[in-house]
Every structure is written in structure tokens, then in C-alpha cells.
Amino acid sequence: MDFARPTIDCLTAYTPGEQPAAGSRVVKLNTNENPYPPADAVMEAVRGVTPEELRRYPPPDAAGFLRVAGELHGLSPEYVIATNGGDELLRLAVTVFCQPTAQRLGQRGGSGASRLRGVGSGARPDATLPAGEGGLGVAEPSYSLYPVLAAIHDTPLTPVDLNDDFSLPADLAARWNDAGCRLAFLVNPHAPSGRVQPVTELASLAEAFRGVLLIDEAYIDFAADDADALPLLREGRENVLVLRSLSKGYSLAGLRFGYGMGHPSLIAALHKARDSYNVDAVAQRAATAALQSREVARRTWEAVRQSRAWLAEAVTSRGWSVLPSGSNFLLARPPGDSGRARGLYETLKREGILVRWFDQPRLRDRLRISVGTPADHEALLDALDRID
Amino acid sequence: MDFARPTIDCLTAYTPGEQPAAGSRVVKLNTNENPYPPADAVMEAVRGVTPEELRRYPPPDAAGFLRVAGELHGLSPEYVIATNGGDELLRLAVTVFCQPTAQRLGQRGGSGASRLRGVGSGARPDATLPAGEGGLGVAEPSYSLYPVLAAIHDTPLTPVDLNDDFSLPADLAARWNDAGCRLAFLVNPHAPSGRVQPVTELASLAEAFRGVLLIDEAYIDFAADDADALPLLREGRENVLVLRSLSKGYSLAGLRFGYGMGHPSLIAALHKARDSYNVDAVAQRAATAALQSREVARRTWEAVRQSRAWLAEAVTSRGWSVLPSGSNFLLARPPGDSGRARGLYETLKREGILVRWFDQPRLRDRLRISVGTPADHEALLDALDRID
């Protein structure tokens, strides 16, 4: 028996990067973790959790965290929502702002499946909304979870190609508007290139776009201090949401904690759709301690920036081309023929070095390499020199 | 500006029971927490979390937990999915099995709002599906989150009233089938009455229902040992999902950890729709330790059963009527006129004693009282005797 609705049957789920078992001896430069450990204060917060805090339900809205995050960013707590990783904020935004389209039942198997694969491509003969209307805008290439979230919600997807250098096309907002998008996701610094889009361009984009612009700042901590979009919120922009994650900047990928900031009317709508107790008591405590010990995290950001420059120089001197990155990874094209990246990825994997290769247009000739420790980089370069 | 889609605008979000600040001196008998602390092994697991486990992404599918849970229940790991609280499993099931209906855009405000309030009541003139088709079946009264999840997903809701004694109506499956439900939620032991539905009736219901029957066993640990529905899975039932939560049985409401069990085809579909890393590294460790120290939890179940009997006897002797409960709460009707429950709830609250009162048909004349410690019960009875 097949009980899932056709959309889910046909869905190709998001594939996270490989996560080898703890303790395995690999050089892990594939999922953009911060190479340095979280602050001692965070570990103390985790160890200080009491039986009573676990026995009882957690504060449903993470009020203590919201207050600390608001103070840090110069916003009141109604501008902030805490989520179970940044991914939950992305899902909530799609749920709240994008319109699901109806698919008729009883069309499973062959024809139904091929029709439903058309979600987001305009091939939706049964939908009651015009193509794109009510849906999600994205700029490609980008985080491959975005289209999956649109598909799960049965909402149209409007992908617009970034320029060749991954800068924003001048007509980006117009194309999202023409398609009737109610929400758009833009990751800045861009993934997987690392490019930082100037805040002035983000401001223009938000001004021109008629829906909600979610700026995914998962990697912002590794960029320059003035690269973030929070000034737009402080200036009163009502259609901008800013996503932050503790996964990379605070070395807490294992904790699953992100947060969103935006106009209180947007935040209130997101609260309505989240699970009642979406972030647990331990995570609330640890995340609060992480923001309160931000200076410790900041030292890791500086170390990552230095290692990034060193690694970029090292691979460039070996003939690779590397884009300037404001993130904790580099998108790098090896010298030689354009099909070489995949083979290198596989050879490195056999050598115990994980990097990321994306089987996508404009990315197949490159590798995305997370910035690691100096020792990780030495291991990578040794392997590359042996392979060459 | 209003950016949320009309469904969310019109949504009355789920309201959790009051959660007073930690350390406040209240007798808390309103949200069904286990009155006893979690096992020491769980606290040790939390304290033993390493910086490296927080720095890296957690195992995306919680493989270690799935193995332990599968062994405990005599099922292979493909029968199990770990979720961020039981609530996430409920949301995933709606997402995966229920069909969203389309709502036209451009109908905000007055008429649009009133039309959309009709979601679930059959008043959906614009929907492309027949009323109920593709939607969620529930048996009322029940957990008030269920209709909220259907509304967020824009899927029709088919509520069927339970019998006066909260037993299952003979035509329950037929009515869900007639409405075209693809999924139904049934909580057992029933909330808020505590009634335990016999497994034979659940088996008949699953046999007769054409969609997926999710049996919400959030409170099963407090019932008799043979009350659970897992035998249906072991016998090969393909349309049953069983929900478990560590919130009550394992005294871990603060941890947010639940899990679902069912045929691997159902579980695989749920995995496709969940957030990539839905349960964090700390929770995976603590939840695994909780199941491994189940005998400690079992002693709290026995203590709760004894306290439940004692409390039922104590209020019965004061003229209350109490339904037999297999859960960690009692649904109890005070003597006197039927409007009295609300006033009692408010008076008790002023006295620092929280119980739950539901402003719903068939429940307004009663209070739901969580089973607490003997000291909690003494405080409650003292207050009741003073009020009377």
C-alpha cells in the first residue's frame, strides 16, 4: 500500500553531506562546521542543566534567549524567534508565506508522478493558481534544501539564475514579482560561492520585491563586520527576515539552534505555525550562553578568516581558481579539464578527506572546501600534491 | 503590510498550558509532566556531551537511538523515526499523508477570512477537493493541537464525536472513510479523559479505516502493560503509526523527544519530509540513555498509578465524579452546578495551584488534573476543602 501523497512519493529528499561516525579518522571539510570547539561557557551551560529543567516543559517561546539575542542585535524581543536549527525557520517561512497549490487525488503512478515532478517548473495543469503565484523565489545555484521545502509545501518555485560571478541579476526582484512570489530566499554570504552581496543591493532588492525577503545569514559571522542586513530591520523594513544559525559561527551544529529576526508582524505569524515547544531546555540554555560568550566565538571567526586566506593562496599557487569568500568555505576550480572535480572529490574521499562536490549546473567543475584547521589544510594539500 | 497567507492570518494557534517561570512556587497539575525526575543515567548522558559532539552535525537519522528503540520494542530500526517531540511526528504525518487544498489568493480581510474559517467545517466553496477528501480524521474531544495542524496544512478536518463515555463510536472508521480521510489521529489512553481503548477495538478500527491510523500513545506508559498497539505492527499492519513521547513516561518534557513506529514504507515517507537534522546531539544521547534505563522510569509509572488511585478516591469521596484513567491525569467533574468548574479553576490558580480547564463542549463542566506527588495532592485537596 502507498499512503503518502503523490508529492511526497515523487520527492527527492534533501541529501546532507556525509557525516562519518564520531571518532572515525577523516579530514572533514565537507559540511562547513567551525573547526574550533564551542566556548567553555556553552559546555558549562549544558552540564548545568538540572533534572527539573528536563522534567518540565521548556519555556515555549524561549523568552530568555529572545531577550539576550534582541539586546545583542539592538532589537526588542518581538523581533526575534528561536528555531530548531536555521532549517526550521526556512520551513516555517514557506509554511506561513507561501500558498500551497492543490493537486488532484487519484493520479498516482506514471502520469501523476510526471505531472507532479513539474511542481515549480510551470507544468501544473491542475493548479488553481497561475504558475509561480503564491510561491517561493530563489536565486540559483543555492542551498539545495530551498526547492525541497517548496516541493513539500506544494508551492510553486521560481528559480532565477545568478550572474556568472554569482552577483545578483538587476532584474531579480522583477522576475520574482512577475511570477507572483510571496517569499524569496537569498543566502548571504552566498553558498556555495562565498560571495558577499553588498547590503546596499540587498536594500534595493527588499525595496523592489513585493513579498518577504528572507536573507539567510547562516555564514555571516565569517564575513566583514558590516556585511549583515540587520540595519534594514533597524530602519523599519517590514518585508525582511534575517536568519542566523549557531551551527557555524558558534561551533554548535550538533545543538540545532537558529533564530530569525524581522518585523514583529512577520515574527508573530511564524510563531503561530511553529511546534508548540520547538526548542528544548538544553538548547535554550546553551544558545543563550553562546551569545553571551560571543567574544570567544569571534576569535574563531578571525582564525577562520586567516586560514581561509592561507588556503586560498595555497590552492591558487597550485593553479586552482578560487572565488573571494566571506564564508567558512571556498568554491575552487581545479586546473585541467572541467570534468576533473568529480574525480578529485572521489579520490580525496578514498584518502579520508571529505570535501563537497555538487552534481549541479555551474558547480560540477568545482569543489566546495570547508575552511578547517591548519592541520586539515596540510592534509588536503599533501593529498592534492600526491594526486597531481 | 500583511504578508502571511490568509489561513495563517485566521489561525487561532494552539495554546499550551501555562508554564510558570522556573522556581516559582506553584503546584503544577496542568500540563501532565511526570512528577518524578528523570533517571540519573539521563543526566549523566547530558553532562557527558563533548564539545566535539556539539561542534559537528548530529547523526541525521539518529541511528543509535533507532537501534535501541527498535530492540526495546522488537522491531527493526526501519520501523522507527525520531522526532523533536511527539508534536513533530504529528506535523510530519499531516504533511506526508494529507492533501492540502488550494485557497484562492487575493481574498484577504472580511469575506476571505470568514470563508477560510470554514476550513474543516465543510464550508469550502473554492476548494478543488470534495469536502474532507484527502484530509485528517479526529475523534473529539481530543488534543487541541490536531485541528491546528490540519488548518496550517490547509487540509480538511473530519471530527467525529466520541460516545458519551469517550469510547469509540461503532461507525468511526466508516465516517472517516466516507469523508475521504487519508490520516486519522487517535490518542490512547484518551486525552483528556484518560480512558483506555481496548487494543481489539484499535485493531478493528485500523482494519476498517482506509487511511493511516496514527495512535498517539503519549500517555501509554501509565496504562496497563498490555494496552499498547505495537502488536498491530508486529502482526504486519501497514496503515498504523504509533507515537511515543519521552515527555511524560521518562520525565523529559524539557528535552523534546518523541518517536514514531510503523511499517517501513510509512517511516521512509516521514523521513523525506522532516528537517535534515531534526533531533540534536544532546537529545539523541539523553533519549537513548532514557530507554536504556527504562526500569527507573517504570518505577515512576507505578508510583503515578498508585497516586492516581489515591487522588481519584480522595476527590470521589468529596462528591466529584471521576472517569477511570490509564493516564497520568484525571478528568473530574466537581459536584454542584455545571458552570462550577471554571470558577474552581480560577480560584485554584489564585491559590497557586494550576489545573487545566478546557473551554470546549463536553469539557466545560470538568477539570483535568495531572497526577502529582502526594504533597501536590495534599495541597490541592486542602485548597478544595477551603474553597468548599
Nearest CA in chain B to A40: B51
Q: Is A54 close to B87, i.e. CB distance below 8 A?
A: no
Q: Is A38 close to B54, i.e. CB distance below 8 A?
A: yes
Q: Supply the pTM of this predicted model.
A: 0.92
Nearest to B102 among A54, A128, A282 (CB): A128
How high is the pLDDT of residue A111?
Answer: 31
Q: Which of A57, A88, A89, A128 to mutate to test the interface with B (most CBs of B within 10 A)?
A: A57
Q: Is A99 close to B105, i.e. CB distance below 8 A?
A: yes
Q: Is A281 close to B255, i.e. CB distance below 8 A?
A: yes
Q: Tell me the three cell numbers of residue A328.
A: 567558512
Q: Is A254 close to B55, i.e. CB distance below 8 A?
A: yes
Nearest CA in chain A to B97: A4
How high is the pLDDT of residue B114?
Answer: 29
Nearest to A51 among B43, B54, B239 (CB): B43
Q: Is B58 close to A102, i.e. CB distance below 8 A?
A: no
How high is the pLDDT of residue A101?
Answer: 84
Residues A97-109 have pLDDT tens digits of 999 985 443 333 3
Q: Is the pLDDT of residue A13 over 60?
A: yes
Cα distance from B11 to chain A (closest Cα, Å)? 8
Q: Is A280 close to B277, i.e. CB distance below 8 A?
A: no
Residues B220-240 have pLDDT tens digits of 999 999 999 999 999 999 999
Q: Is the pLDDT of residue A64 over 50?
A: yes
How high is the pLDDT of residue B177?
Answer: 97
**CA distances, A28 to each of A35, A371, B31, B67 (Å):** 9, 10, 43, 26
Q: Is the pLDDT of residue A129 over 80?
A: no
Place of cell 470546549: B360
Nearest to A16 among B53, B55, B276 (CB): B276
Given pLDDT bands bounded at 50, 70 and 90, which one contains residue B20?
confident
How high is the pLDDT of residue A24?
Answer: 73
Q: Tell me the three cell numbers of residue A358.
A: 555538487
Q: Which of B14, B46, B47, B55 to mutate to test the interface with A (most CBs of A within 10 A)?
A: B55
Q: Is B57 close to A19, i.e. CB distance below 8 A?
A: yes
Within A275-339, residue ranges assigned H as helices are: 281-292, 294-316
DSSP symbol at A356: B
Nearest CA in chain B to A22: B53
User: How many Cβ atoms from other residues are within 10 Å of residue B236's Cβ?
Assistant: 7
How high is the pLDDT of residue A133?
Answer: 84
Looking at residues B102-120, what average pLDDT do you find?
A: 36
List chain B residues with CB under 8 Å of A95.
8, 152
Beta bridge partners of A360: none
Cα distance from B307 to chain A (closest Cα, Å)? 18
**CA distances, B106 to each of A317, B2, B113, B244 (Å):** 57, 12, 11, 41
How high is the pLDDT of residue A160?
Answer: 97
Looking at residues B152-174, what average pLDDT do you find?
A: 97
Cα distance from B81 to chain A (closest Cα, Å)? 16
Q: Which amino acid is at B32?
A: N
The number of C-beta contacts closer than 8 angstroms across A and B is: 279
List the single range of B22-26, B128-132, B148-152 with lowest mean pLDDT: B128-132
Cα distance from B319 to chain A (closest Cα, Å)? 31
List chain B residues with CB under 8 Å of A84.
84, 275, 278, 280
Looking at residues A166-172, what average pLDDT do you find?
A: 98
Looking at residues A369-383, what average pLDDT do you find?
A: 96
Nearest to B3 among A47, A266, A278 (CB): A266
How high is the pLDDT of residue B130?
Answer: 60
Q: Is B280 close to A255, i.e. CB distance below 8 A?
A: yes
Cα distance from B153 to chain A (closest Cα, Å)? 8
Nearest CA in chain A to B267: A4
Helices B374-387/B294-316 angle, 10° precision? 20
- Distance, CA of A27 to CA of A29 (rounded, Å): 6
Q: Which amino acid is at B214?
A: L
Higher pLDDT, A25 or B264: B264
List chain A residues with CB under 8 Å of B266.
3-4
How high is the pLDDT of residue A102?
Answer: 58
CB contact at 8 A, B252 and B98: no
Nearest CA in chain A to B102: A102
Q: Is A99 close to B102, i.e. CB distance below 8 A?
A: yes
Residues B333-387 have pLDDT tens digits of 999 988 899 999 999 999 999 999 999 989 999 999 999 999 999 999 999 999 8
Average pLDDT taken over every residue of chain B? 91
pLDDT > 70: percent of chain A: 91
Q: Is A265 close to B95, i.e. CB distance below 8 A?
A: no
**ipTM associated with this complex:** 0.92
Q: Is the pLDDT of residue A123 over 80?
A: no
Q: What's the N-to-C CA distance of chain A in angstroms?
A: 52
Give the number of residues written for chain A. Answer: 388
Residues A256-291 have pLDDT tens digits of 999 999 999 999 999 999 999 999 999 999 999 999
Q: Which of A25, A177, A255, A371 to mutate to test the interface with B (most CBs of B within 10 A)?
A: A255
Q: Is the pLDDT of residue B112 over 90?
A: no
Given pLDDT bands bounded at 50, 70 and 90, which one contains residue A173?
very high
Nearest to B104 among A97, A128, A238 (CB): A128
Cα distance from A187 to chain B (closest Cα, Å)? 18
How high is the pLDDT of residue B101?
Answer: 84
User: How many Cβ atoms from other residues are within 10 Å of residue A359's Cβ?
Assistant: 7
Beta bridge partners of A215: A186, A242
DSSP H or E stretch at residue A33: none
Pairing of strands B183-187, B212-216: parallel
- Distance, CA of A36 to CA of A300 (rounded, Å): 6
How high is the pLDDT of residue B18?
Answer: 81
List chain A residues with CB under 8 Å of B272.
8, 11, 13
Closest Cα partner for A27 from A388, A387, A384?
A384
Closest Cα partner for A147 from A366, A360, A368?
A360
Q: Is B1 close to A265, i.e. CB distance below 8 A?
A: yes
Closest Cα partner for B284 from B243, B307, B252, B318?
B252
Q: Is the pLDDT of residue A182 over 50?
A: yes
Residues A133-146 have pLDDT tens digits of 899 999 999 999 99
Cα distance from B364 to chain A (closest Cα, Å)? 23
List chain B residues with CB under 8 Å of A376.
none
pLDDT > 90: percent of chain B: 85
Q: Is the pLDDT of residue B108 over 60?
A: no
Given pLDDT bands bounded at 50, 70 and 90, which one contains residue B209?
very high
Residues A302-324 have pLDDT tens digits of 999 999 999 999 999 999 999 99
Nearest to A100 among B38, B59, B100 (CB): B100
CA B344 to chain centre: 25
Q: Is A13 close to B271, i.e. CB distance below 8 A?
A: yes
CA A185 to chain centre: 9
Cα distance from A381 to chain B (closest Cα, Å)? 23
Nearest CA in chain A to B148: A273
Average pLDDT taken over every residue of chain A? 91
Nearest to B269 among A8, A43, A182 (CB): A8
How high is the pLDDT of residue A249?
Answer: 98
